[in-house]
A and B are shown apart, each in its own frame.
Chain A
């Protein structure tokens, strides 16, 4: 027996391997199954994120300044294009207000308190991005105290960028839609057809070579045209209906010619933003 335990280095190695796999397995399980990490980890992350805010503030300022500088190049042509759209926009806005008002009244008449399209928002600024290839996380400076829950969708200015994966007390992590983690990157979505017939499917993966999102399980591809808008359908989970994802780019068949995948150009430019919006759905669906 004495000989068995005499090799100290082997025992250390053994303990090390057990500890490694134990820690990894436990934390992966907690991340996938529980809605929040253990309290110690929450407090630790919060402390680190508070101090990180000090460094993130000047970085975001620099980032904003550089993106403004690069915007300056395209200002003239953009201005021309935008002027043409302005008249149309004002008209649309007036129409939208009338329709929203009418919608509100009709909802009251029907005693509908919340539907799939109702949501409130929380703004948060980004503290850092994980230096990791497979965990494409952003850390943001809002958490449980602002009412954020796991799996809420997150938007940047233009469109959907991801989903909350970890909530601490005053900070949380957003997993980007461009991740290749198969558990978390799925969004129930629909394509707004021209003749009021919406086509539903699931945005289920990200094609990193072309930078497109791929929508699968589409019920019919007959009426899909390039340039149609894709929004979240609000079916299942904490995602409300009507969050803008992007525009249809094309349809491809898989290798066996069996199923169709719709390729979507994401609306959110996943580069130049420093503030994100967390969407809190008013109706909570199944968990």
Chain B
């Protein structure tokens, strides 16, 4: 099989695995249903997406990933289509657009980009859901009980998983031209 196709399949599997991990993490470890003021939302798929976006240069491919996985995420987890479907491609194009500013990939850059995109994503979801009256949480409650803990947890996890994830996504994207 063509090396390019194989790498693409690898990328898709990588994102898909992260997609399932989101739901399972929430279910198995962060499942505060009885007493829960603080809400932590694992966003491992966004981690994978940010990692890949930093390394893939083909914008059309990025848009396709964003829309397809956004649709699946919305339909499977949220039951409302239009949150991730729009926000995920926007984030990916945004990262792609400002990627040239970054001289080289290192942990600090990627962490801050992940932090920014997570904040953008969660705030966007909050605004859209608030607009459509899916929630009546106030802005302050959202920042204190959802956004804050979510950012903290995910940044810590990003910190722990950075090296394996970065190496894996590097390997999934880069291939030698002559072996094509």
Q: Which of A234-271 contact B (CB under 8 A)?
A: 266, 269-271
Q: Which of B21-73 contact A (CB under 8 A)?
A: 21-28, 31-37, 39, 41-43, 71-72
**Minimum Cβ distance to chain A for residue B92 (Å):** 14
Q: What residues of A have a CB within 8 angstroms of the CB of B76 in the complex?
A: 44-45, 48-49, 52, 139
Interface of A is mostly: mixed
Binds A, one of B2-10, B104-112, B132-140, B164-172: B132-140
Q: Is the CB of A133 within 8 A of B81?
A: no
Q: Is the CB of A24 within 8 A of B27?
A: no
Q: Is the CB of A211 within 8 A of B35?
A: yes
Q: Is the CB of A28 within 8 A of B134?
A: yes
The verdict on B78 contacting chain A, using a C-beta distance below 8 Å, is: yes
**Minimum Cβ distance to chain A for residue B140 (Å):** 14
Measured CA separation A119–B43 after assembly (Å): 40
Q: Is the CB of B79 within 8 A of A25?
A: no
**Minimum Cβ distance to chain B for residue A40 (Å):** 9
Q: Is the CB of A133 within 8 A of B146?
A: yes
The verdict on A209 contacting chain B, using a C-beta distance below 8 Å, is: yes
> A131's contact among B41, B71, B72, by CB below 8 Å, is which?
B41
Q: Is the CB of B75 within 8 A of A45?
A: yes
Q: Is the CB of A27 within 8 A of B82?
A: yes
Q: Is the CB of A132 within 8 A of B132?
A: no
Q: Is the CB of B80 within 8 A of A19?
A: no
Interface size for B (C-beta < 8 A) is 45
Q: Which of A151-210 contact B (CB under 8 A)?
A: 165-166, 173, 176, 178, 180-182, 208-210
Q: Is the CB of B72 within 8 A of A24?
A: no
Q: Is the CB of A176 within 8 A of B79?
A: no
Q: Is the CB of B42 within 8 A of A131?
A: yes
Of all chain B residues, the one with the shortest Cβ separation from A127 is: B23
Of all chain A residues, the one with the shortest Cβ separation from B32 is: A271
The verdict on B83 contacting chain A, using a C-beta distance below 8 Å, is: yes
> A132's contact among B37, B78, B85, B142, by CB below 8 Å, is which?
B78
Q: Is the CB of B136 within 8 A of A63?
A: no
Q: What residues of A have a CB within 8 angstroms of the CB of B136 in the complex?
A: 180, 182
Q: Which of A203-237 contact B (CB under 8 A)?
A: 208-211
Q: Is the CB of B33 within 8 A of A136?
A: yes
The verdict on B77 contacting chain A, using a C-beta distance below 8 Å, is: yes
Interface residues on A, range: 35 or more
**Minimum Cβ distance to chain A for residue B166 (Å):** 23
A208 with B37: in contact, given A59-B28, A134-B129, A135-B78 (CB under 8 Å)?
A: yes
Of all chain B residues, the one with the shortest Cβ separation from A130 is: B77
Q: Is the CB of A24 within 8 A of B41?
A: no
Measured CA separation A45–B135 after assembly (Å): 24
The verdict on B152 contacting chain A, using a C-beta distance below 8 Å, is: no
Q: Is the CB of A130 within 8 A of B34?
A: no
The verdict on A126 contacting chain B, using a C-beta distance below 8 Å, is: yes
Of all chain A residues, the one with the shortest Cβ separation from B27 is: A129
**Minimum Cβ distance to chain B for residue A178 (Å):** 5
**Minimum Cβ distance to chain B for residue A151 (Å):** 14
Q: Is the CB of B33 within 8 A of A270?
A: yes
Q: Is the CB of B33 within 8 A of A271?
A: yes
The verdict on A11 contacting chain B, using a C-beta distance below 8 Å, is: no
> A31's contact among B24, B80, B85, B86, by CB below 8 Å, is which?
B80
Measured CA separation A209–B128 after assembly (Å): 25
The verdict on A23 contacting chain B, using a C-beta distance below 8 Å, is: yes
Q: What residues of A have a CB within 8 angstroms of the CB of B79 in the complex?
A: 27, 31, 37, 135, 137, 165-166, 173
| 5 interchain pairs, CB-CB under 8 A | A24-B132, A25-B132, A131-B22, A133-B39, A208-B36
> B: which residues have CB within 8 A of A?
16, 20-28, 31-37, 39, 41-43, 71-72, 75-83, 85-86, 90, 125, 128-129, 132, 134-137, 142, 146
Q: Which 7 A-B pairs have the closest CB atoms?
A: A128-B23, A270-B33, A23-B82, A24-B82, A211-B35, A129-B27, A134-B135
